[in-house]
A and B are shown apart, each in its own frame.
Chain A
Amino acid sequence: MDALEAAAAVVWPARFAAAVPYLMLAPAVLLVGLLVIGLAYIGDTSLRTLDTSTFLLSDDYTLANYRRALSESLFRTVAARSLQASLIVTAVTLLLAFPYAYLMVRTPSAALRKLLLIALFLPFFIGQVVRAYGWLIILGNQGMVNDALSLVGVAPLRLLYNYPSVLFGLIQYMLPFAVLMLAPALTAIPEELEAAAHSLGANWLRAFWHVVLPLARPGLVGAGLVVLTLTLTDFAMPAILGGGSQDFIANAIYDQFFRTSDQGLGATLALLLVAAGSLLVGLVLYLFGAGTLAMGRRR
């Protein structure tokens, strides 16, 4: 140990101490740097067009891909569909998540709290593909719901491969994220505040609206932001539950790379999505603060 200390003192004398935290951060900064380099690659590729005779990307830079991405109606439809979906999914998920988080935080029963936590973490740890597979079994043409319906003589319904089924799958996927972002914010609200509102004559709805909801804003912002961006950029649910007819932006990007092999156009769409996502995140953070997402020291 002494030898180690001596070695450490030689390699790193005490007067360098100020550099220690930066040295400790360096590996993380380098690792995240891979993503930044990746973005640079996307930017470079987005400026090259596909030569349809050789299937190679052009050597010189042009903005043609951006013109195509912004003008073709297919991409506008896909973008509008993704954006609309993320707004609906965010609203419904928060509506479901808030009471869930509230009950989980406030219940006096430790057993109920544990049950709600396990019900939350289990799907969170199972992954999107298996969960989507579960919905396929439930909603498919020969799925459980339709089998049950046929027992009572109802003709099979087409429950899968449409917009609502994708939204439904996304809400299920987002619920754990939203609850886990909301719960700490709700814990921070003292129960006495509600009791005070009640004793001053407010019924539970008024107490909820005027006390709990405003105080829970950091959590709501964090949860809403996470759900909104994750939905906007999701791939698996539209691919599996939408069956190719309900593509989101991520699916369109994937298709450009692996179906049409137009890497330039795919990279352009990817970069536009990154820009739109960052803009959204930046705007919300600027307007409402970092909420429960903050990474800084305790103040």
Chain B
Amino acid sequence: MTGSLGKSVVLWSVVACGLVILSAPTLVVLGASFTAGNIIAFPPEGLSLKWYSRIAGAGDLWNAFQRSLYVAFVCTLAAIPVGTLAGIALAKYAVRPERTIQVYLLLPFTIPLIGSGIGLMLLFGDLRLLGQLWPVGIACCVINLPFMIWAVMASASALDPELELAAASCGAPPLSTFLHVTLPAVVPGVISGSLLMFILALNEFLVSLLLVDARIVTLPVHIYNSIRSIITPDLAAISVVFIACAAAAVLLLDRLVGLEIFLKSK
């Protein structure tokens, strides 16, 4: 890096500030979950695992977590075929009208979440689907679908089209070419995209809030409802479950594709 002392000082102080802001809530929740006291206090009243044993016995928290897992699975299972096919199509073919299709497929990001959520709530209500969990998974899939398409597209456009032509000219019929050349090439994109879809659905709050009722709350909604009444350390302990899931996802993503992939320019 070229530059002067002044540049380094400015850069580093802003970045340090950013690091503190990014990490503070996570670290504090982690710390609070180990408190021995009945309220979260600073300095903490000693260390203990009692809040973890408390949540281990709390059925409602575990049920909410299992519902979140179910929603995330439904979302990912739907996103894999839909996003993979769309990603390959967009990366390899000149689909017309190209611009319209792009704008249309970006709708999940341009329509505000509250709008998407309310719209799906009205639609699902009319179809008598409210009160079930799988529509929540489908909703999570719709609102995050561009992430999946992007991930697959990145892999698909890295595949040299000559390879598919080579397979065809060696006598491979179209379906074989697709299954043995195209599909394996996009697997890294499919994996990173699925991971992203899974973790985002696990954490999805607003759309969940709009689509669930009191019997089937997901974990983020449960935490939201609880912090509105009273803040106790058992919420910190259950939040650590989310932190652990996020950490696992980051590690996995780094192992599978490398986090540096997000720095690459198109």
A residues sitting closer than 8 Å to B (CB atoms) are 1, 4-5, 8-9, 14, 17, 20-22, 24-25, 27-29, 31-32, 34-39, 41-42, 45, 95-97, 99-100, 102-108, 113-114, 116-123, 125-138, 140, 142-144, 147-148, 171-172, 175-176, 180, 183-185, 187-188, 191, 194-195, 198, 203-205, 208, 229, 232-233, 235-236, 239-240, 249-250, 253-254, 257, 266-267, 270-271, 273-274, 277-278, 281, 292-298
Contact = CB atoms under 8 A, between A and B. Distances in A.
A248 B247 CA distance: 31
Contacts, number: 332
Nearest to B104: A32
Contact of B265 (A14, A125, A185, A191): A185
B119 A39 contact: yes
Contacts of A116: 15, 19
Among A4, A108, A187, A296, the one with the most B-chain Cβ atoms within 10 Å of its Cβ is: A296
A138 to B, nearest CB: 5
Contact of A295 (B81, B102, B115, B228): B102
A144 B42 contact: yes
Contact of B245 (A125, A138, A191, A203): A125
Given A5-B175, A31-B82, A298-B266, A127 B220 contact: yes
A270 B242 CA distance: 30
A117 B2 contact: no
Nearest to B227: A133
B4 A204 contact: yes
Given A39-B115, A180-B262, A184-B265, A126 B123 contact: no
Given A129-B224, A133-B25, A184-B266, A31 B112 contact: no
6 contacts: A118-B259, A122-B243, A128-B203, A128-B205, A133-B227, A250-B112
Given A41-B126, A126-B246, A147-B41, A24 B111 contact: no
B185 interface: no
Contact of B250 (A122, A143, A294): A122
A162 B82 CA distance: 43
B56 interface: no
Nearest to A99: B14
A133 B233 CA distance: 11
A126 B1 contact: no
A102 B107 contact: no
B203 to A, nearest CB: 3
Interface SS majority for chain B = helix
Given A35-B119, A130-B239, 8 more contacts: A28-B82, A35-B107, A96-B18, A123-B246, A137-B236, A147-B42, A254-B114, A295-B150
Interface in B38-66: 39-43
A294 B90 CA distance: 12
A128 B200 CA distance: 11
B223 A129 contact: yes
Contact of A229 (B4, B91, B112, B157): B112
A204 B263 contact: no
A132 to B, nearest CB: 8
B21 interface: yes
Nearest to A9: B173
B176 interface: yes
A106 B203 contact: no
Given A37-B123, A41-B126, A133-B29, A4 B115 contact: no
A4 B174 CA distance: 11
Contact of B203 (A103, A126, A134): A126
B142 interface: yes
Contacts of B25: 123, 130-135, 137-138, 172
